[in-house]
Amino acid sequence: MRTDQDAPWWRAAVVYQVYPRSFADSDGDGVGDLAGIREHLDHLEWLGVDALWLSPFQPSPMDDNGYDISDYRAVDPIYGTLDDFDALVADAHDRGIRIVLDLVANHTSDEHPWFRQSRSASDHPRRDWYWWRRPRDGHVPGQHGAEPTNWGSFFSGSAWAWDPTSDEYYLHLFSPKQPDLNWENPAVRQAIHDVARWWLRRGVDGFRMDVINLVSKDPALPDGVVRPGEEYGDLGRSVVDGPRVHEYLAEFRREVFGDRTDVVLLVGEAPGTGLEEARRYTHPDRRELDMVFHFEHVNVDRGEFKWDLRPFSVPALRRVLATWQVGLADCWNALYWDNHDQPRVVSRFGDVTRFRDASAKALATVLHLQRGTPFVFQGDEIGMANYPFTTIEDFDDIESVNHYRRSVALGVAPEDVLVSLRAMSRDNGRTPMQWDDGPQAGFTRGRPWRPVNPDHVDVNVAAQREVPGSVLHHYRDLIRLRHEEPVVVEGTFSLLAAEHDHLFAFTREHGDTTLVVVANLSSGRVGLPDDVREACEGAALVLGERAAGVLDPWESRVLRRTRAPEGAT
């Protein structure tokens, strides 16, 4: 890679996320596994990615599909063994691919030994490893209104669960089977540090820290504001970017990474975090996180809550992304469209019916050529789309199912709820990877744990691998361009056509090189405005099919212009 030799590897890298349960099944039981991932490392090497991010594969009751971990230092038997993990790391490293693990440290499963011990007795040494509180005075324990605060869980219902054995409530921001760890307790933080060091010794190259901006709670646990029509209070002010979170993250980096001379990636998921707080997390001088996954750009098509659908707006999306590009100019961006928690971007922001391939390529272009590290979710590289769900029985995701039940109980028509679930459910990102057009898309020889999208007969890796110009080849070209062109990694970002209804255009400039990126994010033809036309003058086409003055629906182009050295004639 032709980049600054002193820069950390992740600045010029592309990270590929695998959701192990849905990537590749090697033994025919219908569930993806570590051996299946290992069998497809050739695909990742061919694509050119630099790191593999693995969603949780540790033992779990699967209440939240693996994000409720019951043993941090093991592999769930459904995925394989620690030997399988070690072999995957070795094979990936042989191909120059680093390994990044999900570190789920805000909460554990309620079946984790730590929580079993914590709930066993009020005087157990690990009691304070979780958030336990007495019921409100004057209320009957276990009945609505007796909870210590009025907080609502992110997964619907109260954020407190009554434990009759110990006569107290415990806090769970997500499922009742995901009790929150109490990071106020130094022993908890030390235990998480020990877990991270244990995986580093096994060859891991970094961590994606799940909802890490929620680990510090306001110890006063004040009630939240109850919005109109809501049953519970908003807990955001008390748990998002809490009072000691920066202290905790600086301590984590110092205690876990120490004086290591190699560079390890630390990226944090940060729902609800704004730009200024993100600067604090990621500024190099603070030594906390290298980058964060913010959520502003994936909230542009929703109202005050996830299921409140709004029309997609190119200006709104462009405004958010450009603001973060400028705001983190001296820090670093994590670039992503979707993941295991988001619907498929081609269905969400593209035109999956009429211009599927073109919109998949256009969206990839504008993401990968911004300043930051791109994250590719499995299937993005072939333009995988949302699943055609028909009934609530089609859904598996706990958040989706809970929302449906709560909404219907409040009188919302079931079909109206299903409309939002089809668009936004996390299940959309969890259908099996589409390798070929055969039975079960080449994912498994058995019955898959989730149904395969019927469109796999046309949309799959095998169908695109030998087709230049396919979505798959376009992703490969974008990754190669990042590796070969320093301007993609190091260049400054300047927005073009800032008021246009359909264009997303910008320049990247570094040294003598300017890269011009222009994409029509609409299903109609669009002419180039003057500032874009001027930026393209004298530039050579790098990616795209032509350099005319009009863009076809969802057409994207990348052009390069090199300034002659001073004094040259």
Catalogue the active-site residues. Answer: 210, 269
388 DSSP 8-state letter: -
Instruction: List helix spans (H) across 131-242.
Output: 186-201, 236-239
Burial of 433 (0-12, 13-18, 19+ CB in 10 A): buried
* Residue of 562, 363, 490, 472 whose CA lies nearest to 1: 490
d(CA 332, CA 283): 8
One-letter amino acid identity for 41?
L
Torsion over CA: 322, 357, 457, 48 (sign): negative
Could you count the other beta carbons within 10 Å of the beta carbon of residue 243?
A: 12
Q: Which residues on neighbouring strands pair with residue 550, listed in sequence order? A: 527
Could you count the other beta carbons within 10 Å of the beta carbon of residue 491?
A: 20
* Residue of 218, 124, 123 whose CA lies nearest to 171: 218
Q: Give me the residue label for tokens 């394989």.
A: 80
Could you count the other beta carbons within 10 Å of the beta carbon of residue 132?
A: 21
Is residue 556 within 8 Å of residue 361, measured between CB atoms? yes
Instruction: Give the chain's end-to-end CA distance (angstroms, integer).
Output: 31
One-letter amino acid identity for 77?
P
